[in-house]
Amino acid sequence: MTTLEIISVHPTAVVDDGCSIGNGTRIWHFSHIMSDCVIGENCSIGQNVVVSPGVVLGRNVKVQNNVSIYTGVVCDDDVFLGPSMVFTNVINPRSAVVRKDQFRATYVGRGASIGANATIVCGNEIGPYAMIGAGAVVTKSVPAYALVIGNPARFAGWVSEYGHRLHFDADHRAICPESGQEYRLENDRVIRVH
């Protein structure tokens, strides 16, 4: 374990040698941080979380209780992982068949939020600032700023960086009611203007 200055690790947590943990990160009860993972600064790793070898978490990632982050997952800065959400890393797991060389990568973009009890099937990308609804089952990649819900997850609209629904006018413009940020919808993609 490498500490840059100040990290907080609960006495019941296990932190293996060979991982990198950024300054200001907190690791709570009964969590296991495995070797060769990278956790950025100011992260919060909730109770009963497993971070597997090779996982990369950016800065200010919030991992709520009972989440297992398996090898192959990379989360950019400011990602939120809700309670008991699930990542997979093999598309067709079998107990009697070793497939550790078949892990599929999953990338979660900056500022994305994944709701409680959602499942992210491996090999997909969650775009920046996307919002995955509670209990959703994501079986394909999700574009930036998209809101998806249900099983299987389906497109339900667009959200701002502050997590508010965006309502586009006839000129394909929308304003976040909290931040005042302006967005444009072009070719089924949302772009933040300013």
CB 37, CB 53: distance < 8 Å? yes
**83 CB-side CA count, 13 A:** 2
Per-residue pLDDT at 194: 81
Q: What is the three-class DSSP state of 133?
A: coil
Domain presence at residue 171: no
Domain presence at residue 191: no
**70 CB-side CA count, 13 A:** 18
Q: Low-confidence residues of the chain, pLDDT below 50?
A: 2-4
Domain presence at residue 175: no
Domain presence at residue 41: yes
Question: What's the CATH number where 80 sits?
Answer: 2.160.10.10
The boundaries of the domain holding residue 144 are: 2-165
Per-residue pLDDT at 6: 85
Domain presence at residue 91: yes
pLDDT tens digits for range 108-154: 999 999 999 999 999 999 999 999 999 999 999 999 999 999 999 99
Per-residue pLDDT at 183: 98
CB 146, CB 140: distance < 8 Å? no
**Of 134, 30, 15, nearest in space to 84 by CA:** 134
CB 69, CB 81: distance < 8 Å? yes
Please tell me the pTM assigned to this model: 0.94
> Residue 192: which H helix or E strand, with range?
strand 189-192
Local structure of residue 172 (DSSP, 8 states): S
Alpha-carbon gap, residue 142 to 109, rounded angstroms:
10
Domain presence at residue 184: no
- Indicate the number of domains in the chain: 1
Domain presence at residue 136: yes
Per-residue pLDDT at 4: 44
Domain presence at residue 180: no
Alpha-carbon gap, residue 44 to 28, rounded angstroms:
8
